[in-house]
Amino acid sequence: MGAHQELNAALHRLHLLAGRPSLAEIAQALKGAGISRSTIHDAFCSQRLPKWKVIDALVEVLSSQAPGGRPEEDQKVLYEVWLRAAKEGDEQQSQGPQNERERKAKAHELLQRALLPQEIPLIDGLEIASRYLPASDPYRAGGDWFDVIPLEGTKVALAAGDVMGGSILSIALMAQLRSELNTLVHLGLPPHKALNLLSEQAQRLMGDRLATCVCAVYDTDTRLLDISSAGHIPPFLLNQDGTGFILDIPTGLPIGLAVDACETITVQMNPGETLFFLTDGVVVSPAEGLDSGLARLTTSLAGAQTTSDLTLPSLEELIDVPLKALSNLRHDDAVLLAARFS
């Protein structure tokens, strides 16, 4: 990981922890330091190394707004990264440009990973595993995401989504949508209302870009799953005996197209069942259509689930099976979130 990309990723993560204040808000806080809005923007996004005083001021402002923020520790860590980035910049200048496309693409992937959940929370009555694979063409990386959100009482929200297109803009929009959905489900809204409001907000954020999302709220007490889709591939349900199928839920329209196109249905979950939330990178490629991809997913999971001693494979082993079956077919980003009910 290049130090400059590490610096950008660390700033974006700190920005997310601080509640994603706007550039205008940050610029207002730094007005006395003589740091302009464009300079702040460049610190987050530019390939040019910002002056240390800019990073130092940003860390102080963002850390003060982040829960459990530690400005001195953050400053020390980022200063070390900044020094390494300065050294790398000197070395690259002396050597000339090398593999510029690869370096930029790797930065996209690192930023994408930094904005996805770093740890899966422990939920009583639910075993969870997740995977994110970048696109085989690194310039297509960006936009696929998932989330696991503990809610009040015995409920938890599970979500997966995809911002169409692969670019740094897709990654930024992904982070915004994930954060907005997190806020909406914490208000206690059912999935369809959360997605409808998200779509309304996205019309202001995304311009002519579209995104898809599936959102579910599961109650570990009642084992009831409320689920809604905004144009996204429905989750795949794997039974304990190895049979499986795509959940039959209303598809809805993609995020950003309409503000009332989603609806929620309720499904009773049973112990031993596993629900897979996925993005189209898991089942679609230039060499394989959706139907073939879903058949491959079904076959691979059924074979792994069915064992001679009737014991279920571990979820960490099971989630890798369809991704190994995908192999060199993968073209876009791929997200897989598995939830096993107990």
User: In angstroms, rounded to a whole number, what is the distance separating the alpha carbons of residues 261 and 192?
Assistant: 8
CA 30, 32, 36, 42 torsion-angle sign: negative
**What pLDDT shows up at residue 276?**
95
User: In angstroms, rounded to a whole number, what is the distance separating the alpha carbons of residues 94 and 209?
Assistant: 40
**What pLDDT shows up at residue 312?**
76
**What pLDDT shows up at residue 98?**
47
Taking alpha carbons only, the member of 106, 43, 35, 109 closest to residue 78 is 43
**What pLDDT shows up at residue 265?**
95
**What pLDDT shows up at residue 208?**
64
Tokens of 244: 């499986």
Please report, for residues 12, 176, 288, the alpha-carbon distance to residue 164 in angstroms, rounded to integers and kept in the order given: 21, 14, 19
Q: Please, what are the averages of pLDDT over each run of 10 residues along the chain (342 residues)?
A: 71 80 82 78 74 82 73 73 71 51 64 74 91 70 85 94 75 84 94 92 73 94 95 91 89 84 94 92 75 83 70 85 70 86 91
**What pLDDT shows up at residue 65?**
76
User: In angstroms, rounded to a whole number, what is the distance separating the alpha carbons of residues 154 and 123?
Assistant: 9
End-to-end C-alpha distance for the chain, whole angstroms: 39
